[in-house]
Amino acid sequence: MKNIKSKLAISIVFLFSSLFFSCQENENPNSISQGEMIVEFDNYVGNQNMVIDEVGSTNYRYSTANGQEFNLTRFGYYISHVRLEGPNGEVFIDEMNASADANQIKGYYRVVQGESDTYNIHLKNIPEGQYNKIIFNLGVKEDGIQEGAVGGILDRAAGAWFWNWNSGFINYIIEGHSPASLRDENRLQIHIGGWKNIPSADENPQRFFDNNVEVSLPFDATVRVSETMRPSPHIIMDLLKVIGDTDLAIQNNIHSPAAAVPFVQKLAEAFVVDHTHQ
């Protein structure tokens, strides 16, 4: 009997303590100061600012290295798994969460040319310290797909770039028109996606391709994050680094992981940190 009573007493203590603690927001347990960073993305085509034209436009603003003209009617990319590193071993890993609830999605970002509110990625809860490098994944990895239906910028019904026939997101999307393309409406569509590798076990070739790309960019200077200092690295992305050498007469209709591989190899080089605002 005594044993039961003591069990009960312990249980009640646990009950109240767990009720008390389990639902509390548990912020800054060690009260380490935290700060923020705003990473700005600025898309270019060579040395020209990137401009999005109406679908059907024949105003060809840009041209490839071999003189094929083109314009853009849609352009953008997903960014995830952002990480910051500092000269003294500082590391910040942006929290990731894929959820049906758009408000619970964490760590996924999408830059959509023409929608200026998407150009700045707002990183929060960064431990105070010095940072001189940003690393991010260009695209959406398996952890954003195999959890099932997700919301917000990953919701196909809300305009997410998602393949319905070969499940996965388009990591990097290029759409426009080029007179070099002999498709209807001189259409140009380069959809870069793919999130898994099935390496060949025998003489067979590889099945699928993981076309996520890790982009690692040193800052031009070390910056300091603190409660009062919110630095802002300015990243420039140049589309010509990706398709500048492409023959748009041939490569104008890319819609699968294997077909995207030649472009993927150039993606990491398209990004550079131009300068950093402390």
Chain residues that interact with other proteins, rule: CB under 8 A: 3, 6-7, 10-11, 13-15, 18-19, 22-23, 99-102, 145-151, 155-160, 162, 164-168, 198, 204-208, 256-259
Is the Cβ of residue 36 or residue 155 nearer to other proteins in the bound state?
155
Q: How far apart are CA 92 and CA 37, in angstroms?
A: 11
* Nearest residue to 233 (alpha-carbon basis) of 115, 138, 129, 120: 120
194 close to 211: Cβ distance less than 8 angstroms? yes
SS3 2: helix
Nearer to other proteins, 30 or 103 (CB): 103
Q: Is the CB of 83 or the CB of 187 nearer to other proteins?
A: 187
SS (H, E, C) 172-238: EEEEEECCCCCCHHHEEEEEEECECCECCCCCCCCECCECCEEEEEEEEEEEEECCCCCCEEEEEEE
Residue 210 Cβ, how far from other proteins at the closest point, in Å?
Answer: 13
> Toward other proteins, which CB reaches closer, 14 or 120?
14
Minimum distance from residue 252 beta carbon to other proteins (Å): 18
Is the sign of the CA dihedral 183, 238, 73, 102 positive or negative?
Answer: positive
Taking the complex as a whole, how short is the minimal distance between the CB of residue 257 and other proteins, in angstroms?
7
Q: Which is nearer to other proteins, 99 or 118 (CB)?
A: 99
Minimum CB separation from other proteins for residue 145, in Å? 7
Provide the 8-state DSSP code for 257.
H
Round to whole Å and give the CA distance between 139 and 142: 10
Minimum distance, C-beta of residue 273 to other proteins, in the bound complex (Å): 34
